[in-house]
Amino acid sequence: MESYTMIGFSVFLGAIFVGGAILISKMLAFRSPAGQRKVQPYECSEDPIGGARIRFKVAFYIFALLFLLFDIESLFLFPCMKIFKAVVTQQAGNISLSVLFTELFVFVFILFFGLVYAWRKGVLTWE
């Protein structure tokens, strides 16, 4: 029964914390004397043209996803190179140099193949 008391107390404390943060945010929020002008989508003194519900080409999203994919995979190359250096200088355990080199080659080959595939599909052309 004590565990339920602690869970209830934790939920109560969390609710107080979240509610207090929302209440303080509402009390300290900036209220614009400009009225409805400040709640428009663009606040750089330009009137919006057209509606906000326009269609975007899927190619923009694919381009962004490809950027994230290659960005994250290129970040994985840094720890791979650190391990590769440790293996070359014989500071790592029982990892074979040929196995590590093969794994790195497969990793870079998959990256390269993905880039070539995206390029041939025309995803990287910006219109």
Encoded amino acid at 74, one letter: S
Per DSSP, the three-state class of 75 is helix
Closest CA to 104 of 80, 86, 124: 80
Residue 8 lies in a domain: yes
**How many domains is the chain partitioned into structurally?**
2
> What is the reported pLDDT for 47?
67
Q: Is 66 found in the same domain as 26?
A: no
- Residue 3, pLDDT above cutoff 60: yes
> Domain containing 26: what range?
2-39
- Is residue 127 a contact partner of residue 56, using CB atoms and an 8 Å limit? no
> What is the reported pLDDT for 122?
81
- Is residue 97 a contact partner of residue 87, using CB atoms and an 8 Å limit? yes
End-to-end CA distance of the chain: 64
Q: What is the pLDDT of residues 81-126, one digit of tens each?
A: 887 777 777 766 677 777 778 888 888 898 888 888 888 888 777 7
Q: Is 35 found in the same domain as 69?
A: no
Q: Is 70 found in the same domain as 117?
A: yes
